[in-house]
Every structure is written in structure tokens, then in C-alpha cells.
Chain A
């Protein structure tokens, strides 16, 4: 048990200086010879529960294929005023719809996105590219060889997902979906 405590401390320190998502394997390597991914996972769970239990301003989360330490979302206002910066613009409805399409149907082309949304989405997709939430992933081998788009690791981190399988499936929750179209 003491060993797990020690590993938890090691992971916490590494994640603090990393400043990004760190995969479990990398943590195991850094922790020293013979440390297994399972031991790291156990230590991280211990650390997470500790952050959750205490009134900490930080939290530990599994996201984007690894783990990271982050500030608590509810502290945004305090941090913004300390840093003297304005709140980041909310993603527009058009951006969210395009992201949803790319997220669930990737890889997908712009004409396909346009078709699903019923409107041209070139400008929105460009914004998503700039915000690094999506990336170009080759070309589709059809007439015109349009670019294919995929979501990025940044997308997973932004929405708190470990991998694409964790994308929310609202239709599963709503058994009546497909029967009638009800309000949101």
C-alpha cells in the first residue's frame, strides 16, 4: 500500500510538470524499471479519489488516451479575472453540429457534412481546423478526391473523452427517438 502511495506521488508530480495528457505507459516508464501499467492505474485511481475527496482546486482525469491534471471547471471565473482575460467564445451551433457529424462519422468529407446539415459548412470546418479540433486525414478516393476530416486528440480533451467510443449516444437514452421528433 505504501508503494501505491509512493507511485501516486510520482504520478502527481510528473503530471504537474508535463502540462499535457500523459499516457499510462509513459508514466510507468518514468516511474522506473518493473513498474506495470496496472500499478500506475491503481495509483492514479487513488490520486483521483484523493483530489475528489479533498476540496482541491485541481482534478485528475483520464482523457484523450492518457491522464492529466487540470483546474476545476467551476473555477473558470476566478482564473479569468486573475489572468485578466475574457471568457473563451462558446462553440456556435453550426460548429457543434459539424463537430458532431465529424466526430460520429469520421473520416468524412465536406460535401457529406453539407448534405447532413443541409447547408454549406466550409467556413465552419475551417474554424474547427484553426481551433485544432479537427484535422485533415487524407482524401476520399471518389470523383474530385475531397479531403477527409477527423477529430483530434484536442477534441477528445476538450470534451473530456478518453477515446471516440466515449462519445455520448443520446439516441440510446431516448427510446422514443425515431418514433416522433420531440423538442430538445
Chain B
């Protein structure tokens, strides 16, 4: 007959300590001592009654009684009833035997625990000496256990940074996307359509700076070729291109 306390159920149950007792075995040992009983011949009826009385007191104090106490309460009743039945010694052992074994085993645990408590009391204030050594491990000595992931990541970062410092990005030249010759023709077309062309506005509204620059060079080229003239009323105001009537020469156009 095994009480439910030995189920391999490992779910934590609410920790309930009743009065000063660690559990039903602790309470039973207390009752044995209090009544100065011999553990080898426990008057089970007396202990059973006192045990139940104790549980009642706990209930009156509104203490939640842990399941283990109830299991032992039931077990005590079983033993008590068996004691009342006539039995033949040679066939069945004493119905109290298992309870006695458990009480003795638990008493042993308590004695050992009290030895450990003494040592704990004596020693828990001790601290291991650790003088901080001024000498760090040599740099070339790789102490792997002292390196964690964060340090490793930091070292990698440093390598990347140094690599970047020592290898600055190369100056990249983009391929020419606009040609002056193309822009000259473009401007020339525009000048044919309208007599006076607002060059500055046109330049400033180009989405691409490179295109604006190419257009400016093309405009200067048109002026050099005397196909157009440029004029401006005041500094920073609009620059107008006006065709001179000269046709665009087919030779000598800048290829840039």
C-alpha cells in the first residue's frame, strides 16, 4: 500500500507548511516524542486521534491542509482498523511496520539535516580569497574560456573597421550618360521652334545635374559656333539664347 505521495508527479504544488511541521512524518514524530512513546510499539489509536485533532486545529486556523497530510490521516485509520482485527502473527506482520520504517528513515533525515544546519550556520559567512592579480595573461596566449560572444563580435568589428580605414572606397567614374553633341542638336531644335529660349530656367529644371552641365556646355558651344547668342539683363537673372540664323555646321562639333 503506497500513499499517493510517491507518485512521480513533479508539478509544483502550493508550498504549504502547517504550523512548524515539515509534513505528516514530521507531525507524527512530534506526537511520538510529545507523548514519550516507544517508536517500536506505537499506540496507534492514540496517535491517530491526536493526528486528526491536530488537523482539525489547523483547519480551524484556516490553514489549507496539504494533500500529503490527508493521505497519512487515511493511512493511520487503515492501520488503526487493522489493529482491531484479529491476526495471526506468523502470516501477517505488524500493520504498523511500514509506518515505523518510514518514521525511522525520516528521523535519520532530520538528524542529518540538523548536522548540515550546524555546518551551514558555522560556514555560510566564509568567502574564498581572490587577490586580483596585476599581471594579465600574455597577449599571445589565447585563453579561450575568458572570451565570450560579445568580445568576439567586438574583435570582428575592429577588423572590419581597420580594413575599411586601410582600404578607402575607390573613386568611381560613372560612364557619360549625356553627350554634348546630342545636346547641341537638342538645343538647336528648340531654338528653331521658339525665337528666344530661356536657358537658365531650362537648366535649373533638369532632373539630372549631369544633364544640366552637358546642356550648358552645349549652349556655350552653340555660341562659339555663332549659331546662337546668349544675353542676360542683370546678374543672376534669366539667360536667353537667341538663334543668329546661322545654320549648325556639320563639321567641328564637340564630341564630348
Contact = CB atoms under 8 A, between A and B. Distances in A.
Interface in B119-142: 119-133
B13 A180 contact: no
Nearest to A147: B10
B229 to A, nearest CB: 90
Contacts of B133: 17
Contacts of A122: 10-13
Interface in A31-81: 58, 68-77, 79-80
Contacts of A115: 5-6
Contacts of A9: none
A70 B45 CA distance: 54
Nearest to B34: A183
Interface in B1-39: 5-13, 15, 17, 22-26, 29, 32-33, 38-39
A66 to B, nearest CB: 11
Contacts of B109: 97, 100-101, 116-117
A75 B39 CA distance: 43
A71 B126 contact: yes
B141 to A, nearest CB: 15
A177 B241 CA distance: 121
A58 B129 contact: yes
Interface in B79-136: 102-117, 119-133
A112 to B, nearest CB: 8
Contact of B29 (A88, A116, A126, A181): A181
Q: Sort chain B's interface into a size bin.
A: 35 or more
B72 A118 contact: yes
Contact of B8 (A71, A96, A111): A111
Contacts of B199: none
B7 A117 contact: no
B113 A99 contact: yes
A73 B13 contact: no
A116 B22 CA distance: 12
Given A96-B116, A158-B124, 5 more contacts: A100-B116, A103-B112, A168-B112, A181-B29, A181-B33
Interface of B: 5-13, 15, 17, 22-26, 29, 32-33, 38-39, 66, 68, 72, 102-117, 119-133
Interface of A: 15-21, 58, 68-77, 79-80, 87-88, 90-91, 93-94, 96-97, 99-101, 103-104, 109-111, 114-120, 122-123, 126, 143-144, 146, 157-160, 167-168, 170-171, 174, 177-178, 180-184
Q: Which 10 A-B pairs have the closest CB atoms?
A: A76-B125, A19-B130, A119-B23, A118-B25, A100-B112, A96-B113, A69-B129, A168-B115, A118-B23, A100-B113
9 contacts: A73-B122, A73-B123, A73-B124, A91-B120, A96-B120, A118-B72, A120-B9, A177-B107, A180-B39
